Amino acid sequence: MDVNQFALYQLKNIPENRQIRFRPYHTLQEKGIQIQYKDYEQVYLARMQPGDEPEQIRRRFNRKLPRTFHGHSISVSDVLVLNKGGVVTSYYVEKDGFTVIAGFIRSGSSGALVSIDTADFHIEGKEGCWHAFDSIIIDGKQFFLMEHETYGKEVAWVVLDEEGKIIVDHTYQGFDQATVQQIKDCLHPPQHTAEPEMQKQSTANRYIQMPSGNTMDKPPLENWQKYMENGEYLRSSEIDEEQNYNMIDGRRNNMSPKGKNGRASVLAKLRRKQAEIAKRYGKPAQQMAMAEDMERRRK
């Protein structure tokens, strides 16, 4: 069946089914009679309406039978199978209400390791023997609720797939919403996608992809990055002229460093003044500085 469909099954009109036709489920259990798919035939298949539950479907059929329906009105011993969101559940029709039955619809092949009839089964990593007492079909795959044969409900139940693999290790509520969600997560693990914004990053250069995916902008470079990108000639000239290595940034600005109080260095001012005087008299700045120093010592 496709997702979000329901099917109605009724007992085949054969002599072998006389003892189970229109009998309550508990009566059949007392006599040891199992509800088996081979004793039934599908009389109707249709899409589910929003919010459909077994009782809503039953009331709708009691009001008016569909034209394509072949069979008697919904009665005790019928089986209503709902495939809701990929989860298949079988309901045995009672006089009042429904009884969920396991193993009516089976998706496994004849070579499946676990079935609803499995007993004395050894689960890897678990002690003792286990037996299947309930099953569910999710996304076309069947899963079985296993109970410890010795301790019963005193030990947490385990959910296995048809190959005997543990899908849910501990559950005390059977196939409740939380257990079904764990099975679905196992069938369809969440996909973790990498963030597409950062495409390439390196120590010297970073490229960030813009939202359009086409324009690539380059962030401002640090001084040392500018130094590495400048040509050899420009780096050499800056090293000779700049008075502070943190100013080697691709421009020959020759700005002197400032003191802690924000004012220019007095020593730097003195050297610039000596350079101006030496240039004026045509003497090297070093000779002028030595002459002035000697003059001060004589005084």
Strands (E), 22-165: 40-47, 79-84, 87-93, 98-101, 130-138, 141-148, 157-161
pLDDT given at position 291: 64
What's the confidence (pLDDT) of residue 193? 61
Residues paired with residue 157 on neighbouring β-strands, in sequence order? 171
User: Which residue positions in the chain have pLDDT lower than 50?
Assistant: 1-2, 200, 202-213, 215
Residues ≥6 apart with Cβ < 8 Å to 284: 278
DSSP annotation string for 101-143? ESSSS----TT-S--TT--SBPPTT--S-EEEEEEEEETTEEE
pLDDT of residue 226: 58
Contact call for residues 8 and 43 (beta carbons, < 8 A): yes
Q: What is the pLDDT of residue 247?
A: 55
Q: What does DSSP assign to residue 283?
A: -
Q: What is the pLDDT at residue 217?
A: 56
Q: Which of 137, 133, 56 is nearest to 90 (CA)?
A: 137
For 253-275, the pLDDT digits (tens) are 555 555 555 565 677 777 777 77
**Residue 9 and residue 17: Cα distance in Å, rounded?**
14
d(CA 131, CA 180): 20
Which tokens sit at 261?
């109080």
Pick the closest to residue 103 from 131, 65, 128, 127 (CA basis): 131
How many CB atoms are closer than 10 A to CB 17?
Answer: 14
Q: 11 with 21: CB under 8 angstroms? A: yes
